[in-house]
Structure 1
Amino acid sequence: MPSKVRDGCIYQYKNCKILWNHSLVEEDLWVREGKILNPEKLFFDEQAYADVQIDCKGCIIAPGYIDVQINGAFGIDFTETEDISAGLKKVSHGLLEHGVTSYCPTIITSPKQTYHRTIPKVKRCNGSKNGAGILGLHLEGPFINKMKKGAHNPDNIQSFPNGFSDVVDVYGDLNNVAMVTLAPELERSGEVIHELCKRGIKVSLGHSSADLVTGETAVNNGACMITHLFNAMVSYHHRDPHLIGVLTSTHIDQGRSLYYGLIADGIHTHPSALRVAHRIFTKGLVLVTDAISAMGLPTGEHWLGHQKIEVNGKRATIAGTDTLCGSIAKLDYCVRNLLKNTECGEVIALECATLHPAQMLGITDKKGTLDYGTDADFVILDPALNVMATYIAGEQVWDSGLIQGL
């Protein structure tokens, strides 16, 4: 593949299986000027053919992965770094190796000044050879329940007794925000959810002790996601299933869509829990890493916010405790791990990192599919779903070097 895409050049990726319409089909993928082409219109309307053909040697082509919850990686903590621009640049570039072409940098529960310093500087942008694109910030807190704080600093947790005005006061500028995680049991949460949704911001429910009815009410008010299912919430109980029970609720208004994040890192969620979630509500499953600054770093001591953490193997905990504080898994590993532990099949495993997060964010017209006219952000995978190459806007931005000629 040429190092730079030529203007107007038509690229044909052949000898591959592409993720198309919920199936892996033996079809060619056609790309021009950063977009997926409809080959029928190309042949019959334009009577045009490929300028460059790329033999994929039997590999799989899937949309680029989307991670909607990542706190940092490669030594960068989005919450604490003073130079957020440099931090984003480093993480964005590092994610390409793992097939991630778009993501939501996540800021955990913080004091007001952190939000006011950081939010205006994190601009939405498309990806490039320099790194994955940014879809907007995910603000995880500070409006959460202290009883389910997880690794969040309880001194920074807040409520909103004055409603949405408190949210604006804490966050300041909301223009660069794509998602907010909050606890729906907080007083006036209905008003806050409604106002966030009016501004096009997706609301996720998490770090919460909410009962089932409260969760259902929040979804009917506009919330569309549950943050890292099973983690930082009340466990399922047969008398009150709490937030987990919302996945099977019959009391959600018709037409409402619901998704849930799942950390399939082998640590946060037991394989049995992965299977339960997958079998109950496959179409809402969104793989997330919840990765922290220690992702991509060696075993030892690191930092998450102001808290010292310890990395030992696949586990990251608050130093001196057994409290998990995020994952160090990469999203491509989570895809393979979901496939291994649920036997869901390659299509579903891939859609949980592509189509489903794009649906949740409402961006399937551009991302998350290989539909005609969408952005040519895609990954080439071997049959075991290892990333062989990553493309953004039709340009190869990372290559494993294991397949010659791509």
Structure 2
Amino acid sequence: MPSNKSVSNAPITQFINCRILRDHKIQREDLWVREGKILDPEKLFFDEKGFADTRIDCKNRIIAPGFIDVQINGGYGVDFSLASGDISGGVSMVAKKILEHGVTSFCPTLVTSPSSVYSQVLPQIKVQNGGPSGAGVIGVHLEGPFISEEKRGAHPPKFLRSFEAGAADLLGIYGKLDNVAMVTLAPELANSGPVIQELVRRGITVSLGHSMADLSQAEEAVTQGASFITHLFNAMLPFHHRDPGIVGLLTSDKVPSGRRVFYGMIADGIHTHPAALRIAHRAHPTGLVLVTDAVPAMGLPAGRHTLGQQEIDIQGLHAYVAGTKTLCGSIATMNMCVKHFRQATGCSVEDALEAASLHPAESLGLVHRKGTLDFSTDADFVVLDDALTVQETYIAGQLVWKK
């Protein structure tokens, strides 16, 4: 029977001659879009007797959900951790440039900073939908300052903090958490348990990272609500067979039933050996989230740049803390990471694409809107060739970038 719901007269676009990623498989199907959402063609035909207003021939290319980067520190000279200058303008510029990498949503990431930086920067980074002017901002990722001094990586030691008074310290340093999507902290810090619970209560994803935690401390943090690991293998105790540390969460039997631990991986060919990528992927494929951890020098030539309070040196594809061999994020783009991940692990095309779309959406609790091409989700997607090179990027069904 025809539905009694009022039928929209908005134009309908049908993408034809394409292979789309749906239900973990690339299938030969058309994609239908109306008012920024993915349409169910059966309802359209049988309930509405509707048809397409515009047809777009995809020339046998792949359509996959738009990429979501949950850890990006800046790019093109813009540093999200610097309070000087036009912060929202800088975020908008990066949002516009990453469309060409297939990124349709992202979490601007702030590294360990003095509390004055958080109070100036956080109110200016607004959660907003993407469009022709750039990728959508899902919320901020705060990486530090509640991390381990031994595993601080590129984070300046003088700004590191601990939880003397639990969640009050957190709010004292960050101020309001309205626009925050994720917080990276070290679970071995005293009083971290109540902090994790408070963050989760506010709908913020808690990630474990820059940490000396052993496996039991990591498992305890997961039972309290932590659900992510920041750049697996980097800035944590190395895997040891008697105590695998945070890495052991990938196969832990203490993860509460019905819960999944996600983990970020910088698949830039530098941060993680291909064999380590393969081990992680084979141990826990549905938790793997590709992140760029891109620094402000991404997209710029080699030489001296900044990352928050640190000077960094770009040498080839490596980003180091100036004067050291300490890696501090990458200059990789998300489409590079997708290609390298597939090549390094030999995984399926579906796995490579879902690690940059479905899994990050699941990790942030956004899968009802993002990360899939399911009916009535946001029509954010990328068109790729068989080499997984991004050809076009769409947000809300609108073409926002073309190669």
Q: What range is the shorter-chain TM-score in?
A: over 0.9
| Secondary structure in structure 1 of the residue aligned to 2:127 | coil
Query: Quick check: 1:219–1:256 contact (8 Å CA) kept in 2?
Result: no
Query: Quick check: 1:7–1:33 contact (8 Å CA) kept in 2?
Result: no
1:14 aligns with 2:11: no
Residue 65 of structure 1 is aligned with which of 53, 64, 67? Answer: 67
Give the TM-score normalised by the residue count of structure 1.
0.96
Query: Quick check: 2:83–2:117 contact (8 Å CA) kept in 1?
Result: no
Give the letter for the 1:92 counterpart.
A
What is residue 327 of structure 2 aligned with on the other side? 324
What is residue 3 of structure 1 aligned with on the other side? none
Query: Quick check: 2:181–2:204 contact (8 Å CA) kept in 1?
Result: yes
How far 1:69 sits from its partner (Å)? 0.3
1:44 aligns with 2:60: no
Identity, in percent, stands at 58
Residue 362 of structure 2 is aligned with which of 359, 363, 370? Answer: 359
What is residue 29 of structure 1 aligned with on the other side? 31
Q: Extract unaligned runs of 5+ from structure 1.
A: 1-5, 401-406
What is residue 334 of structure 1 aligned with on the other side? 337
Give the letter for the 2:57 counterpart.
D
What is the CA–CA distance in structure 2 between the aligned matches of 1:207 and 1:38, rounded to whole Å? 44
1:99 aligns with 2:102: yes
What is the CA–CA distance in structure 2 between the aligned matches of 1:107 and 1:303, rounded to whole Å? 13
What is residue 403 of structure 1 aligned with on the other side? none
How far 1:319 sits from its partner (Å)? 1.2
The alignment covers a number of residue pairs equal to 395
Q: Counterparts of 1:61-140 in structure 2 under 5 Å?
A: 61-82=63-84, 83-140=86-143
What is the CA–CA distance in structure 2 between the aligned matches of 1:330 and 1:212, rounded to whole Å? 32
1:282 aligns with 2:260: no
Q: Deviations over 1:337-384 (max 9, x none)?
A: 000010101000000000000000001111100000000000000011
What is the CA–CA distance in structure 1 between the aligned matches of 2:312 and 2:226, rounded to whole Å? 32
1:141 aligns with 2:166: no
What is residue 350 of structure 2 aligned with on the other side? 347
What is residue 305 of structure 2 aligned with on the other side? 302
What is the CA–CA distance in structure 1 between the aligned matches of 2:292 and 2:277, rounded to whole Å? 14
What is residue 3 of structure 2 aligned with on the other side? none
Give the letter for the 2:50 counterpart.
A
| Secondary structure in structure 1 of the residue aligned to 2:59 | coil
Q: Counterparts of 1:256-267 in structure 2 under 5 Å?
A: 256-267=259-270
| Secondary structure in structure 1 of the residue aligned to 2:268 | coil
1:54 aligns with 2:65: no
**Moved segments of 4+, more than 4 Å:** none
Give the TM-score normalised by the residue count of structure 2.
0.97
What is the CA–CA distance in structure 2 between the aligned matches of 1:251 and 1:53, rounded to whole Å? 50
